[in-house]
Amino acid sequence: MPKYLTKAFFLVASLLSMWACVEFEQICAGSVEAPLKVNFKRKIIFKDRNNLDSIVFKDSFLYIKNIKVLENDSVLYNYKLLSDSLVSTNLIYNPLKDSTAYIFSYNKGDTLAIDTIYFGYNRQIELTSPECGVKTNYSNLKIIKHSFDSLVINNANNTSDTENAYMDIYFNQK
């Protein structure tokens, strides 16, 4: 066998043998399910000189008292201080059903407002690894019904690898 072939033979074999003996530590970061991010925004409607509407959208915050799962009253978020406010929150998909509903209780001015949101989606189970178990991937997010002023779903099909589906909830302010 030519010498260069012998060298190539041993070089490849030794590298592969070394590689075969490396055992990496298993990290289960990939098994975390992506939540549905909800941003709170204000829709401000101005009147111009001609009495036409001029609409401005602004990031906003909400004095949320609590957010609960509608079907079992599990608490996703509960306030600690009256002054606690949120500019966004993460809703968790129900991995056992194709829809989830949440109740938001929050202070709107001096009154306690209650709004609900029902959203649906498709589920697909993915094995992260036998060591880390399974997770559920969600796609085709859609709103079934809601009682907020208005809302918009972004990246509903979850097509982007870097950005998951998220929702903007708008509160009217005249």
Partner 1 sequence: MQIIQAIPKMPIWIFTSIRNRYIFLLFFLHIFAAQAQEKDSLTSRKITTDTNKRSYLPNAMRIGLDLIGLGQLPFSSKKYLHINSDISFQNKHLWFIELSFAQNKVQQEATYDAQAFIARTGYSYNFIHKQSAYDVFALGLRLGRAWHKESITAQAKNALFGSTEVNLENQLTATWIELNMELKARIWKNLMTGYSLRYQFKPWQSGESNFVPYQIASVGRSTKNNWGFQYYIWYLIEWGKNKTNKNPKK
Q: Which ranges of 58-171 does DSSP label H, i.e. alpha helix?
A: none
Q: What distance in Å separates the CA atoms of residue 58 and residue 41, rounded to the nearest whole number? A: 6
User: Quick one: 88 or 139, whose CB is closer to partner 1?
Assistant: 139
Among 34, 43, 95, 118, which residue sits at the site for partner 1 (rule: CB under 8 A)?
Answer: 95
Per-residue binding string, partner 1, 7-46, x by CB under 8 A, is: -xxx-xxx-xx--xxxx-----------------------
Residue 168 CA: distances (Å) to CA of 57, 61, 63, 89, 142: 11, 12, 16, 11, 13
- Give the Cα-Cα-Cα angle 21, 22, 25 (nearest 5 degrees): 140
Which range touches partner 1 (CB under 8 A), out of 56-64, 124-132, 141-149, 163-171? 124-132
Single residue of 29, 52, 82, 96 touching partner 1 by CB under 8 A: 96
Side-chain half-sphere exposure of 174, counting CA atoms within 13 A: 3
Indicate the SS3 state at residue 161: coil
Q: How far is the CB of 14 from partner 1 (least distance, A)?
A: 7
Return residues touching partner 1 (CB under 8 A): 1-3, 5-6, 8-10, 12-14, 16-17, 20-23, 69, 72, 74, 76, 92, 94-96, 124-127, 130-137
